[in-house]
Structure 1
Amino acid sequence: MAYDEGLAERIRDRLGEDRAITEKRMFGCLVFLCNGNMAVGVTSDDLMVRVGPQATAGALARPGARIFDFTGRPMRGWVVVDASALVEDGPLAEWIDTGRAFAAGLPPK
């Protein structure tokens, strides 16, 4: 599965030069890690966001968000945001910031 390089570049722009951020290709996707913990990723033209188990319900109430379920087994604490909800920079920035904040609160790997 390929990923949208344009979306990946928009994520890179938002994350800036933060030394805690790295990126890695995994399973045909591109993920961005904060201190070794996955924060956000790009799969196809959608955005994967790590929101944490406590924030999942609220995240799912936002436009374009759905359960992260690519294998028939939902991932707790993750959502996928449809590309149509990411056209504007504001919502994309909010999702990226949410994923980064959650990952930054985890112990470094």
Structure 2
Amino acid sequence: MRLKGKEEMIRLINARDPEYNYGALYLAMRDLGGITVAHPTLALIGKDLRDVPDADGKLFRHEMIAIANGPGRGWVDYKFKNPANGKVEAKTTYVLRIGDVALEAGVYKR
């Protein structure tokens, strides 16, 4: 993002550019208040999903926002539906604050 700039990264993420979207592995961007700024699922853009829990009831996005507003980088574990197989699986997401947004990239644990 430091090379391409925030607006170009938003465009590329939302366009599902293959450099940033590999199916179940993709980049998303959230502002520091929790609003989705960029996501390959366009219906999520502009949404505040902080209070939507994972499969176990964990409010994992609160943790993501706390990391972005605190240390600026870190991992969050939760359970989420894997789009590759439709099953709820353990997932971990790395959160990295850059300026006034947080980039997120998650992977499903096997």
Q: Would you call these one fold, judging by a TM-score over 0.5?
A: no
Normalised TM-score (structure 1): 0.28
Higher helix share: 1
Normalised TM-score (structure 2): 0.28
Rg comparison, structure with higher value: 2
Higher strand share: 2
Higher relative contact order (CA 8 A, sep 6+): 1
